[in-house]
């Protein structure tokens, strides 16, 4: 019987995936938080030829690659809507984010086990715990892409809002 091959080198963890350099330095966040707290991350996915996609990731307390993503999805024609990816796993999800940036430890009282959906992945558009309810109060941009004909008939200018601004407003 041939000898057992050596183990493969450790792969790059999705949670530590490094994309292009950040424009700003990462915040300094301790590795370990207060008892019962969960770590909130800022997640940046490549937008290809468009602006990058932003969201928030609440890491589970037992596996750093698994948690809940809270973000806004849609397009400028039809508008955007709140979406939650429950029990999201960065190791199996594709595409991987460019950056996963730890922001701060948040008291566990703002979260509950419903956010991980009993270990099942699911897309949801309804908040189930206090953090999500707070984020849900910030309304995403409505559709703003109109034809030249319809724009000329509007009595007022169209108010546009970037999805990145909406995501940033969630924390402010």
The band of 26, judged by pLDDT with boundaries at 50, 70 and 90, is: confident
Say if CB 144 and CB 158 are below 8 A apart.
yes
Residue burial 22-41, b: 16+ Cβ < 10 Å; e: rest: eeeeeeeeeeebeeebbbbb
Of the CA atoms within 13 Å of residue 54, those in its CB half-sphere come to: 15
How far apart are alpha carbons 112 and 65 in whole angstroms?
A: 18
Question: Which pLDDT does position 6 carry in this prediction?
Answer: 64
CB-based contacts of 109, cutoff 8 Å, min separation 6: 36, 130
Question: Which pLDDT does position 35 carry in this prediction?
Answer: 92
Average pLDDT of span 50-60: 85
Predicted TM-score (pTM) of the model is 0.70
């Amino acid at each position: 019987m041939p000898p057992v091959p050596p183990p493969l080198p450790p792969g790059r963890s999705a949670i530590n995936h490094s994309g292009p350099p950040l424009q700003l330095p990462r915040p300094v966040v301790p590795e370990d938080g207060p008892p019962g707290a969960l770590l909130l991350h800022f997640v940046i996915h490549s937008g290809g030829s468009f602006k990058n996609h932003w969201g928030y990731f609440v890491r589970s307390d037992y596996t750093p690659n698994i948690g809940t993503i809270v973000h806004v999805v849609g397009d400028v024609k039809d508008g955007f809507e709140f979406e939650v990816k429950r029990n999201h796993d960065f190791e199996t999800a594709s595409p991987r984010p460019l950056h996963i940036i730890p922001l701060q430890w948040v008291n566990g009282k703002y979260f509950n086990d419903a956010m991980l959906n009993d270990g099942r992945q699911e897309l949801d558009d309804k908040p189930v715990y206090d953090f999500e309810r707070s984020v849900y109060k910030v309304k995403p941009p409505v559709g703003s892409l109109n034809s030249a004909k319809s724009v000329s008939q509007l009595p007022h200018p169209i108010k546009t809002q970037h999805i990145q601004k909406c995501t940033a407003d969630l924390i402010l």
